[in-house]
């Protein structure tokens, strides 16, 4: 089976989903789905387990998700094309109150540099799940979901924190968000995390302290670091991230929708 992207120009920039379930009769025999620069074709696979393999091309970012049904393991493997055509991106933050309430904020921009703000959104959450050490995502994901629901669809999300927690890919908030919302996620942390030795250290402007960048959802770490380095703003914290932090803290009010991307 072969699908050549050049033969289907009508698919350019579209959400295109491909899926196949395969089972090899022996190691090295059978097929798997592979995305190349020009399209999708089948390749030999070594596993003898049932595997569901999905390819998703979203506006130039190609992501591969392999689900191993036999072992119940859900690894995500990136074969990412550069996100050159990504247009609608967002930065999100959540702040919690002692009362159990929270405020989630989203800043939506129109390019990877986060230079042009399209819209800002704030949602008040009446009740959040209690904090659970080691499982921050159970508390934060519903808040992120709530604010994403009131904004436009986005192709890339930046969160405050870590996407992955160690070199083996142990999921952090960002990886859980990538799986939940099916978009690439960049984690930008202000402080180092003991096991996240793989995080890319990005020093911006005249700052002497780096930001710690991780990625999930099929985005390569090197590209995530480049995106954070190029984000608008002269300071250590990119302007969009500083803005969404102030919105989540209630220090500023969101500006009405400015434009569409």
The helix/strand count (H/E) of the chain reads as 4, 14
42-51, 70-79, 172-181, 210-219: least confident range = 70-79
The span from the CA of 9 to the CA of 232, in Å, is: 33
Residue 243's nearest CA partner among 230, 234, 253 is: 253
The pTM of the full predicted model, rounded to 2 decimals, is: 0.70
- Whether residue 67 has pLDDT greater than 50: no
Q: Which fold has domain 89-248?
A: archaeoglobus fulgidus dsm 4304 fold (3.30.2170)
99: CB partners within 8 A, 6+ apart: none
Q: Which of 10-14, 47-51, 82-86, 136-140 has the highest mean pLDDT?
A: 136-140
Listed by start position, the domains of the chain span: 2-77, 89-248
For residue range 183-215, list pLDDT tens digits in order: 999 999 999 999 999 999 999 999 999 999 999
Full 3-state SS string of 73-114: ECCEECCCCCCCCCCCEEEEEEEECCCCCEEEEEEEECCCCC
């Amino acid at each position: 089976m072969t699908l050549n992207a050049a033969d289907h120009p009508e698919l350019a920039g579209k959400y295109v989903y491909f899926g196949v379930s395969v089972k090899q009769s022996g190691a090295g025999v059978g097929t798997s789905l592979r995305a190349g620069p020009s399209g999708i074709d089948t390749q030999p696979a070594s596993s003898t387990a049932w595997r569901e393999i999905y390819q998703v091309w979203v506006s130039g970012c190609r992501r591969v998700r392999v689900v191993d049904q036999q072992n119940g393991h859900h690894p995500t493997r990136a074969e990412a094309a550069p996100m050159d055509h990504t247009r609608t991106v967002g930065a999100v933050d959540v702040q919690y109150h002692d009362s159990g309430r929270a405020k989630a904020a989203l800043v939506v921009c129109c390019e990877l540099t986060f230079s042009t703000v399209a819209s800002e959104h704030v949602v008040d959450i009446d009740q959040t799940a209690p904090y659970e050490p080691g499982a921050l995502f159970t508390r934060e994901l519903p808040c992120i979901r709530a604010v994403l629901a009131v904004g436009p669809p986005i192709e890339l999300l930046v969160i405050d924190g870590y996407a992955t927690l160690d070199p083996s890919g142990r999921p952090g908030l960002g990886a859980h968000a990538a799986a939940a919302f099916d978009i690439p996620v960049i984690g930008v942390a202000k402080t180092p995390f003991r096991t996240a030795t793989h995080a890319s250290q990005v020093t911006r402007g005249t700052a002497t302290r780096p930001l710690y960048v991780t990625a999930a959802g099929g985005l390569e770490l090197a590209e995530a670091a480049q995106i954070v380095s190029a984000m608008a703003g002269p300071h250590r914290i990119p302007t969009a991230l500083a803005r969404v932090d102030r919105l989540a803290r209630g220090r500023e009010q969101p500006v009405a929708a400015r434009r569409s991307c």
